[in-house]
Amino acid sequence: MPGSRNVMSVAVGLLIVFGVTMPGVAGERVSVDSFRAVDRPFLLWTADEAAELRQRIENDPAARRQYENMQATDIGRGNRTMLNLFNYMVMGDEEAGQRELNNLRGFVGRKPEPMTWDIDLKSLKWNVGMPSAGDSHQRDEQTLNTLRYDVLYHLLTDEERQGVERAMKDYIQFHLDGGLPRHPDFRYDRMSWLPNMHWPRPIGTHLMAVALQDPELILAMFESDGGYKWYLDEYLCEDGFYMEEFGKYYSNIGTMLMYCEALERLNLGQLGYGYTGRGGATMRKHLEMLPRIGYPRLEAVKGGTSRIPALTMGDAGNTGFIGARDAQGRGGSRIWSSSHMNGPLPKLGVPLWYEIGQRRFPDAGFDYFLAQLRMPGEDTYLPSLYWGLEPIAVNQVKPPAPTGGSYASRERGFALLRMDHSPDYWESPRPAVALQFGMYYVHYVHDCFALMQYVAHNRLLYDRMGNTARGYAGGDAWRNHVRGHSGVVVDGLRASPVDRGNHGTPNHRVRTGFEGPVRFTAVQAAGVYPDVNQERAFLLTDQYLFDVFQLSSPRQRTYDWQVLAIGRLQGLDGAPWMPAAEWDKPRKIERPHLTDMHVMHPETADWTAVVLQDEVNPENPRQVGVKIHMLGEEDTLVLGSRPPGIGEDAQGVSVLASRDAPSVVFAVLHEPFEGGAAAAQVANYERIQQTAEALAVRVSGRTGSAVNDRLLFAWGATVDKPVTLSDGEESFTFTGHGFVRIGTDIVDVRGDVKNLVIRVAGNPELRMNDEKVNSNITGGMLRYGI
């Protein structure tokens, strides 16, 4: 009976088997001289670990509950092979073992299939246009048979064992030979190769080599074209970011983790967890990607649990991180997933990744995220027993600081600004926002320079919109366009990326500053639209997002600035709004896909729109929404409409400001509020001065507010040169950007501000980027550098 072998303490086993990972040298050849053969099975559990797990189940009520939960839920139902192997190996269920043994015998004689789908059978020529969609053999991942081979090794006859091993070696050789024949356009690079579809067989074949305990084959797979080394060296960027849209990230993480875990047992950790790619990528960083792109958690429905969203881009669904559950426990994060495009293997989901991650990297905070996956009304998360974790109590976990804090990824082509860099971030009402650059990525949807998501007060305020089902692979003309994002459309054209993505964003200028009470980033590029140079800047504070979008062209253009907000536009039943049917001026207001349109024509005046969200919990109303303040420019036209994919009774609105001119500056203040629009803090938002290449604005709060700010931003040729802006009373000389918050005791200045004159009350001290400096205060005016 497999469950009756000698007991070895799991605690001791973890110290020995899951010990310190051996480091590899970044980007260089790795030796396998440290290889150590071990007894089988070893990929999932050793015999001693299985015996210890059985003792826990038989003697520990908590472990017994975990096991029962595995049997009754998707932990077991989502992958019957894993459950059968566990029941055989740990619980001594011979029938479960025989079922899997019969399946394994069917693998004998199997050969990997070459690519045929993309060949026209009449002409025997390769199809053109979808060069990699026909790689069905790339999705032929045989990891279930690899696991069966390892666990059931001693049940195989010599002949059967040799047959399985021969099939595994055929898969390995097929990969090492290049997976021929290849479509002539197939290549391994960041932008023409899709790991979710094209890496399942290769990474599964890596695991085969490990299961065979053949160090030369292990090394050959590791160093192969499209192998693990290539993936970390060339595909992932410095922070371990997946280079396709993030929604496809999930496909291979589970097998990668199994591969790395098994290498540790063979004393070859330097080929797995211990390997650092040429750009600094590691498996740990790759596993930590979702916390690196995560937003604060959202308000839960009564009796349910919270969703923790993550940065989402591309033409498919939302990036899966921590899914919400309703009061009945429905929802949550997928434990296993499967789809045609990812191959037949059930893929491990977030809960199982993080169970492995918690065991391997206990300092990473994966237990915090696992605790968020508990069922409603419970204070403990029940892990599977596959990786030996005990139940995780909510009151025993501590949240990690958000991975990376605020950052701009020049290789991945986006910036994420977070006001809270502390461990409180995940449950904080403080805001976070993401800005997309003009870089191509696989399943890109023309979202150049778009505001991707904006979260504040534990609500998702802005998001991309469109029909998800029709959006996949560019099928939704709305989403596959900046019209489906919070960006700018020029002359109704689709945006075009200015960088291919294989080498990051060399054709962008990116600026950042993440210290103090403001988070700043700006990105500039020419050519997103023909003959247009554009730059977008975010200055995020706890109270608002200052958003400057500057575009210039040598000729007259139509610029449509848009934000897509979750909620309902307020005040449509009266001035300054009017129904589109009442618009009687010659300027065209029709826009593709927009319905239920209302019009505002502020001309040169500043304007404000209010979006109020529906209540998540009506019995506890919070009245969360956002006020949109925009500084006026000549002949501005504002449209409030319902975007596609948003039903008549659903909450979702497009607020679009249109201007016809060669050059424009959309200077916007997005102000989240809780407690209704009357609770919003900003009382005054106005220009101090604007020139062709710089802008200074004043933001004043209501009585009792901390907001008394001056925001400075330069673009174009002036970004590296001092520029002076003034309204005759206050003045500022700065380079690039600046932020000034005027308090009673402290004037906090950020950025490269050379000199300033501002109105103050009392005798506050002046701090320039945290350094106290001397200033002169006379007649209520503070002077510095003058």
Residue 534, SS3? strand
Q: Are 206 and 221 in contact (CB under 8 A)?
A: yes
Distance CA 271, CA 184 (A): 30
User: So what's the pLDDT on residue 475?
Assistant: 47
The single residue listed with the structure tokens 């396998």 is 32
User: So what's the pLDDT on residue 397?
Assistant: 98
Helix (H), strand (E), coil (C) string for 349-373: CHHHHHHHHHHHCCCCCHHHHHHCC
Residue 696 scores a pLDDT above 90: yes
Q: Are 149 and 169 in contact (CB under 8 A)?
A: no
- pLDDT tens digit string along 375-420? 999 999 999 999 999 999 999 999 999 999 999 999 999 999 999 9
Residue 9, SS3? coil
Between 468 and 774, the more confident residue is 774
Q: What confidence tier does 7 reach under pLDDT thresholds 50, 70, 90?
A: very low
User: So what's the pLDDT on residue 23?
Assistant: 46
Distance CA 564, CA 199 (A): 35
Give 633's Cβ-side CA count (13 Å radius).
20
Average pLDDT over residues 343-349: 90
Distance CA 327, CA 338 (A): 26
CA-wise closest residue to 190 among 247, 120, 243, 268: 243
- pLDDT tens digit string along 175-193? 999 988 877 778 889 988 8
Distance CA 549, CA 537 (A): 7
User: So what's the pLDDT on residue 17?
Assistant: 35
User: So what's the pLDDT on residue 409?
Assistant: 97
Which residues does 549 contact at the CB level (< 8 Å), separation at least 6?
449, 488, 534, 535, 536, 561, 665, 666, 668
Residue 664 scores a pLDDT above 80: yes
Distance CA 241, CA 250 (A): 12
Between 702 and 187, the more confident residue is 702
Distances (CA, A) of 712 to 139, 535, 669: 52, 15, 13
CA-wise closest residue to 195 among 342, 346, 412, 348: 342
- pLDDT tens digit string along 317-328? 789 899 999 999
Which residues does 10 contact at the CB level (< 8 Å), separation at least 6?
49, 52, 53, 56, 388
Phi, psi for residue 482 in degrees, rounded to 5: -60, -20
Per cent of the chain over pLDDT 90 is: 81
Average pLDDT over residues 135-151: 91
User: So what's the pLDDT on residue 449?
Assistant: 97
User: So what's the pLDDT on residue 129?
Assistant: 56
DSSP letter at 231 equals I
Distance CA 381, CA 358 (A): 13
Distance CA 700, CA 685 (A): 7
Q: Are 368 and 336 in contact (CB under 8 A)?
A: no
Residue 121 scores a pLDDT above 70: no
User: So what's the pLDDT on residue 500?
Assistant: 92
Q: What confidence tier does 10 reach under pLDDT thresholds 50, 70, 90?
A: very low
Average pLDDT over residues 665-683: 97
Q: Are 664 and 676 in contact (CB under 8 A)?
A: no
Average pLDDT over residues 718-722: 93
- pLDDT tens digit string along 84-117? 999 999 999 999 999 999 999 999 999 998 766 5
User: So what's the pLDDT on residue 472?
Assistant: 45
Mean pLDDT (the chain) is 91
| 708: amino acid identity, one letter | N
Q: Do the strands 746-759 and 765-768 form a parallel or antiparallel pair, or are they unpaired?
A: parallel
Distance CA 560, CA 486 (A): 10
User: So what's the pLDDT on residue 320?
Assistant: 87
Average pLDDT over residues 352-357: 98
User: So what's the pLDDT on residue 463?
Assistant: 95
User: So what's the pLDDT on residue 180?
Assistant: 84
User: So what's the pLDDT on residue 209?
Assistant: 98
User: So what's the pLDDT on residue 729?
Assistant: 97
Average pLDDT over residues 340-345: 79
Q: Do the strands 519-526 and 533-540 form a parallel or antiparallel pair, or are they unpaired?
A: antiparallel
Peptide bond into 41 cis (omega under 30): yes
Average pLDDT over residues 694-712: 95
User: So what's the pLDDT on residue 754?
Assistant: 97
Handedness of CA 681, 687, 693, 694 (dihedral sign): negative
User: So what's the pLDDT on residue 467?
Assistant: 62
User: So what's the pLDDT on residue 316?
Assistant: 74
Please name the residue ranges forming H helices in 426-517.
Answer: 468-471
User: So what's the pLDDT on residue 21?
Assistant: 42
User: So what's the pLDDT on residue 26?
Assistant: 56
Phi, psi for residue 128 in degrees, rounded to 5: -120, 140
User: So what's the pLDDT on residue 116?
Assistant: 60
Distance CA 737, CA 519 (A): 12
Residue 15 scores a pLDDT above 50: no
Exposure string over 218-247, b if 16+ CB within 10 A, otherwise e: bbbbbebebbbbbbbbbbbbbbbbbbbbbb
- pLDDT tens digit string along 289-315? 999 999 999 999 999 999 999 999 988
Integer Rg of the chain from CA: 29
Between 443 and 660, the more confident residue is 660
The token duo for 185 is 């356009």
Q: What confidence tier does 660 reach under pLDDT thresholds 50, 70, 90?
A: very high
